């Protein structure tokens, strides 16, 4: 089970601050969910034990009941309703809001929150990704190149239906909606090859629109970004070519 926590599409193996914030919220939610599960199992076991202990006494139960037991049971039931139905969900949702909101802020393109973020435009098509760098006009297909260690504002759009732009190890997912431009801020801390997918069912070819994300050392990226379009059409780096070959063989 723990083996599934790694891999190119695992949100539990974050490689940047946006994805790290999401993973942290996930681990807190997981921890609280496990605690609640254990509590419920223990309470369930205690209830079953109590019920077994009381078997066979039902016939004479009324004879042993003290006056006022009904009122006491109603009071306990009311406390359970208020505690379990109002207080517990209220506290849980408030805590989730307090811890989850900062994780959400990491994904947003706040002015001044990052030094000179790079702007990239990603357009979803049935069924491929068009990647455009407006500063220099470079274009890529199903491949996103980023400078490692620098924030990147990905402006997502769609040319046809709703797609979902998602690079799990770098940040949250964002719908690419026709007629709208939505922005998510990603960052890769280290150079490397990452994977992206379409996370919104968009038709028969939905499963076949993966994206390979290449985080490059900043100087290599700048050299590529500022090269003439013809010169920029260099062969894919070996890691990217290998990732494409792996996708093709799936």
Residue 171 CA to residue 250 CA, distance in Å, equals: 24
Nearest CB to Cu ion, comparing residues 74 and 208: 208
Closest approach, Cβ 88 to Cu ion, in A, equals: 37
Closest approach, Cβ 128 to Cu ion, in A, equals: 10
Instruction: List the one residue out of 157, 166, 168 whose CA is nearest residue 130.
Output: 157
Nearest CB to Cu ion, comparing residues 151 and 211: 211
Applying CB under 5 A, the residues found at the interface with Cu ion are 163, 198, 202, 206
Residue 66 CA to residue 63 CA, distance in Å, equals: 8
* Cα 4 to Cα 129, 197, 198, distances in angstroms: 27, 17, 20
Nearest CB to Cu ion, comparing residues 138 and 158: 158
Closest approach, Cβ 194 to Cu ion, in A, equals: 18
Residue 87 CA to residue 71 CA, distance in Å, equals: 22
Nearest CB to Cu ion, comparing residues 204 and 230: 204
CB-count exposure of residue 26 (10 Å: 0-12, 13-18, 19+): middle
Closest approach, Cβ 144 to Cu ion, in A, equals: 16
């Amino acid at each position: 089970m723990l083996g599934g926590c790694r891999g190119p599409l695992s949100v539990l193996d974050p490689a940047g601050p946006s994805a790290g914030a999401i993973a942290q919220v996930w681990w807190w939610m997981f921890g609280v969910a496990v605690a609640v599960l254990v509590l419920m199992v223990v309470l369930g076991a205690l209830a079953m034990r109590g019920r077994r202990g009381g078997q066979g006494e039902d016939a004479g139960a009324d004879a042993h009941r003290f006056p006022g037991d009904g009122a006491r049971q109603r009071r306990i039931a009311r406390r359970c309703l208020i505690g379990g139905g109002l207080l517990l969900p209220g506290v849980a949702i408030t805590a989730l809001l307090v811890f989850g909101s900062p994780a959400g802020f990491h994904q947003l393109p706040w002015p001044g929150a990052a030094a000179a973020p790079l702007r990239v435009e990603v357009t979803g098509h049935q069924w491929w990704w068009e990647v455009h760098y407006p500063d220099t006009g470079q274009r890529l297909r199903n491949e996103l190149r980023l400078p490692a260690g620098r924030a990147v504002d990905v402006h997502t759009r769609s040319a046809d239906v709703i797609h979902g732009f998602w690079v799990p190890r770098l940040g949250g997912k964002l719908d690419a909606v026709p007629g709208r431009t939505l922005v998510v801020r990603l960052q890769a801390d280290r150079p490397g090859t990452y994977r992206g997918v379409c996370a919104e069912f968009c038709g028969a070819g939905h499963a076949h629109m993966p994206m390979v994300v290449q985080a490059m050392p900043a100087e290599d990226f700048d050299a590529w970004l500022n090269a003439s379009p013809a010169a920029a059409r260099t062969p894919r780096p070996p890691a990217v070519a290998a990732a494409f070959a792996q996708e093709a063989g799936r």
